[in-house]
Structure 1
């Protein structure tokens, strides 16, 4: 062993290599530099292997702890006992012989920059004995090896050499690079490491009872300490970290063996179950309030509200945004060289004129897939919610016109949008059409209002037929506005039992398009020609404003798919719940991803090859109608989305509680509050609230005795 003090007059800490201070210091620096070179070369594999080890252990580990683990493991594998076992096993397998070292190798000294701590917390000195004579040839050989570039580790006393390259490959699992020095497999190795880290995301989960877990751990580890000559009882303690269960067991002695078990693996320090729970609430369209109430009713442990919103902001929203942008780019690339017909409509997050968000959606007419969505906050419209639809339409059109060739746009009968399309020069050449369903709805409202008069009640009976005739006229006019008007005005002759007349409107034949009517099957009373009801109907259908609007229905465009999407949006963002801007935008994009992913579902076919239908009741018509039965939704995108969210956790720097600056389009940059009014003090509001129940008023309202 080394002496505990220097030779000479100057006392100090003992030398590590021999008795000469300069030689010992030079040797220490050389070996420390070698260690730094090895770790720098293996940095990428170090990070990958550490992440894998953290996932397997289920607990965080610092760089120093991981280095201590590697060095301890390698020292064990290079020990004489371990080498002897390897030598014996190799001889039995008739493979390459490995000489068993007679003394402890110097690998612990050559690769260890800090002493390995023992159980007592003090550094454990190497057990190798050194001689001053052995250091002279050692210096010479190390200098020769460094000059040649082939670094070897030399055992003291006997000069048996072991290449450092094999040590690095053994510790860091490195693969040899190509001769030209290119690292062609680095991307594959990184992808494989990421794949290993994301493995817990796809694992199957189950609900378990804590008592059953404790019973299992007691059966495995027992109830008595396993340390020699210790009969202490193991104490099992449980701790919940969100939805994760952590169980620890140990006896009363400080340095006796203890253990820890966790129910969930970790992703960069965060329990995977907590991350998936927060992400699953958003992806499935649920709310944290209802999910938390479900967990409470079952006495299940759940994450906190702050954790949910932080996960949504840091990981879920960016992952959903990336998936939505990729889906958009795929749609735009398929429509790049086509003339596209888009339909647009707005949906407010609450009924009435007090909405906070307006979602304006643009959909491709033929495929029924959502192309773009704009979320408009009421603060962007100066606090006036009726103006949000125009802002959303303008943004959506500008976005689409930069990427695809918009030939025609279909909207509802919004007057501001109609004026914008008619007067704005940048929309010249784009055909503007209205939804035929909104047109028939407007016609029905006009007729209902006129039929309230006593002399016009006969119109009520003919309203469904007039509405159907409007649909027929729009679908059969072949884009000809005059033909549409002539066909629609023919209803004025049909309601008075005239099915052929001398002169048709706009030069078209004066004849109904239906077959001969059987009087026995006709169930409505004919109107009297020239009666008040007939004149009123003629005045409404030939009105200047109504006839001018008919040009918007000549192409027979129907936005039923868009209306269905807005109804589907309620699954992700119900109107009875309020959301922040990030949460509402994320849920809207999730609804669009869901709709586009399942837009091409085929109709179900029976075993005989017949298409299947189902009955559906209409509250409006109070009748049943047949509806095609589509294949069930698969939600195949959710697995990729959950993996993307977990990957965001791995690559996003910083802690979960870090501050995230507002996005450029966040309406809170305009004003922090939706009301855009100065906030009154709470004391004034409480005083105003209590003033309604003043003592004088309470005394005056008391009943007499």
Structure 2
């Protein structure tokens, strides 16, 4: 038998990102189970290690544990904590209960390592201060990504809670019956610095002092009062603005609107948490008086700065409209204009259907005209406008803006072509046309991309009718400069898709689709091959701030659209996240409709750089307000509520009249 051949080791097995994170999480969990808190005894530990001339922390731990067993006279460590005695450093001795030993596990061990050979090393934990982690050989991963690989259990991460002054919970009722509050740091530090006597300091009083509490909005007021009504001290959990408005109320209302949240949901969350906040009425007063005017002013300033960046340039702008509710019963329409190259939002126009005589179908045209006139009046030189194939807007551009080129979004045009093919392919004798749907759509896009004139487009587009029948050269070209053959290279033999039979029902149906006069009359709109995909993405961002499942007043809806535009402009230049090796990070997703997996770049986290300045403007508006929130509401000149209070075409009767007229099949009216 020949000698055994020594095999060379294969390449080291590489883990996927998810497997690596899981492995590191398991290793960290094992590490956390070996942590012991020693507090401020680190210096004594290192001094003892030096005095005993020990090489590592494991030897120090063994020495101390052996010494502890000798002193206690038992083999096992005591189950109850003994009362500690102060010991000088010169004694070279620490009790085991004063130690904090960490089992440090190598996070980058080889994939084929055996757990049976695992020998832990030890080091010292200095929680809660992590400044010394580097000197202790522990990697500080505080700047790791959101799915941190070194997560630890909550009870291990927290500082020691052995102090007798801390409130400890032993029953669920102890926490559910309590109440949290919004407290500012400066107010808390002020309370901590105050020494309040237990008896009244008033002359000839000396009565015992008690604490009374009062909740106003989201703030907690505490008063120290004696039995004779002498007030010793009053404390509030929040700073007070002018006319005694609590800072927390204004900040909470600001955060709800600026984050795109709904007050009713936040109120319900706080109700479950037993967390007091301002009332619904107070929130809407704050929103109406300070928040919406501040957002309007801030957007106007930001919009002016954005427009000034493009003065004197030839601009291509994208335009698209969005209704505030599904179906054909919309109340609002918001129309957005975006600059083509930088993807910056230039203008957002919102309009109520009361302005268009309650006809929601006319809203998009009206918003488009208003927004385009605003941009032209601002001094912008617009040479091309790209929209979807909206008939009303196409008619307006052709009639009133002949000096501006109008283009259609190629993606919408291709999608509509695909819908037409899918519809025709449902017929029994034309089903084989469905296999060519994607190829026909791609050819339409390709024809628009390489063509500069209508004749060039026709010469490429009509060649499809020959290609699908396995005819790649034909006698007569479809134009003076058009080719009479396909432009693709040699076809491979491996084909799973069959050719269409010339003159078959499927081929005849395709001929009608390709030579459709209405589509051919719109070819010049697609020759620039423009896409408004980024604008479609922005329409989805508006849903974060203005959901279609909620109703808003006209000023609130306008402000929420402005917030979406500020969000987009503040983050449209975000870079993609990168892995540790410098490569771009991708995330996979599955499309249920197409049944295909795809990947997209993972963008860096948003930092909302405009929010501090916007909140500063809101607070300043309150501090400079000399009237307050109880002032009469005056509608602006363009507010649609001046036209009609409701959307109904007839005035509403009184509630009493409706109750008297109401009849029900489920209630016996004779009783």
Same fold (TM over 0.5): yes
State the 1:683 CA deviation: 3.4
SS at match of 2:479: helix
Partner of 1:51: none
State the 1:691 CA deviation: 4.9
* 2:250 is the alignment partner of 1:275: yes
Q: Is the 8 A contact 2:425 2:431 kept in 1?
A: yes
Which of 225, 228, 235 is the aligned partner of 2:200? 225
Partner of 1:259: 233
SS at match of 1:457: helix
Partner of 1:347: 322
Q: Is the 8 A contact 2:294 2:621 kept in 1?
A: yes
State the 1:219 CA deviation: 9.2
Matches within 5 A, 1:154-169: none
SS at match of 2:442: helix
More moved, 232-241 vs 278-287: 232-241
* 2:373 is the alignment partner of 1:412: no
Which of 263, 288, 292 is the aligned partner of 2:267? 292
Matches within 5 A, 1:190-209: 207=182
Which of 498, 513, 519 is the aligned partner of 2:493? 519
State the 1:653 CA deviation: 2.3
Partner of 1:537: 510
Matches within 5 A, 1:419-430: 419-424=395-400, 427-430=401-404
- Please give the alpha-carbon distance, in whole angstroms, between the structure 2 residues aligned to 1:510 and 1:604: 48
Q: Is the 8 A contact 1:379 1:676 kept in 2?
A: no
RMSD: 2.4
Q: Deviations over 1:391-446 (max 9, x none)?
A: 0011011111112011100111111111111122xx12100011111101211222
Which of 369, 372, 389 is the aligned partner of 2:364? 389
Q: Is the 8 A contact 1:473 1:487 kept in 2?
A: yes
- Please give the alpha-carbon distance, in whole angstroms, between the structure 1 residues aligned to 2:471 and 2:459: 15
- The verdict on how the C-alpha distance between 1:620 and 1:486 changes in structure 2, with shifts beyond 3 A counting, is farther
Q: Is the 8 A contact 1:226 1:257 kept in 2?
A: no
Normalised to the residue count of structure 2, the TM-score between the two structures is: 0.69
Matches within 5 A, 1:303-702: 303-403=278-378, 404-424=380-400, 427-477=401-451, 479-507=452-480, 508-520=482-494, 522-693=495-666, 695=668
- Please give the alpha-carbon distance, in whole angstroms, between the structure 2 residues aligned to 1:595 and 1:217: 43
- The verdict on how the C-alpha distance between 1:646 and 1:234 changes in structure 2, with shifts beyond 3 A counting, is same
Q: Is the 8 A contact 1:227 1:257 kept in 2?
A: no
* 2:216 is the alignment partner of 1:245: no
State the 1:513 CA deviation: 2.9
Matches within 5 A, 1:26-45: none
Q: Is the 8 A contact 2:322 2:335 kept in 1?
A: yes
State the 1:486 CA deviation: 2.1
- Please give the alpha-carbon distance, in whole angstroms, between the structure 2 residues aligned to 1:686 and 1:657: 33
Larger Rg: 1
Task: List alignment gaps of at least 5 residues for structure 2.
Answer: 1-179
Task: List alignment gaps of at least 5 residues for structure 1.
Answer: 1-204, 700-705
Partner of 1:37: none
- Please give the alpha-carbon distance, in whole angstroms, between the structure 2 residues aligned to 1:415 and 1:654: 49
- The verdict on how the C-alpha distance between 1:229 and 1:687 changes in structure 2, with shifts beyond 3 A counting, is closer
More moved, 505-514 vs 590-599: 505-514
State the 1:459 CA deviation: 1.4
Q: Is the 8 A contact 2:212 2:222 kept in 1?
A: yes
More moved, 548-557 vs 652-661: 652-661
State the 1:620 CA deviation: 3.0
Q: Is the 8 A contact 2:181 2:218 kept in 1?
A: no
Greater relative CO (CA pairs within 8 A, separation 6+): 1
SS at match of 1:258: strand
- Please give the alpha-carbon distance, in whole angstroms, between the structure 2 residues aligned to 1:506 and 1:605: 50
- Please give the alpha-carbon distance, in whole angstroms, between the structure 1 residues aligned to 2:303 and 2:487: 44
- Please give the alpha-carbon distance, in whole angstroms, between the structure 2 residues aligned to 1:607 and 1:584: 43
State the 1:599 CA deviation: 0.7
Q: Is the 8 A contact 2:386 2:530 kept in 1?
A: yes
- Please give the alpha-carbon distance, in whole angstroms, between the structure 2 residues aligned to 1:468 and 1:653: 63
Q: Deviations over 1:324-355 (max 9, x none)?
A: 11221111111101111111111001011100
Q: Deviations over 1:454-486 (max 9, x none)?
A: 221111111111112222222222x32322222
The structure in which a higher percent of residues are helix is: 1
More moved, 506-515 vs 307-316: 506-515
State the 1:237 CA deviation: 1.3
Q: Is the 8 A contact 1:346 1:360 kept in 2?
A: yes
- The verdict on how the C-alpha distance between 1:432 and 1:218 changes in structure 2, with shifts beyond 3 A counting, is closer
- How many residues get paired? 486
- The verdict on how the C-alpha distance between 1:672 and 1:641 changes in structure 2, with shifts beyond 3 A counting, is same
State the 1:541 CA deviation: 1.0
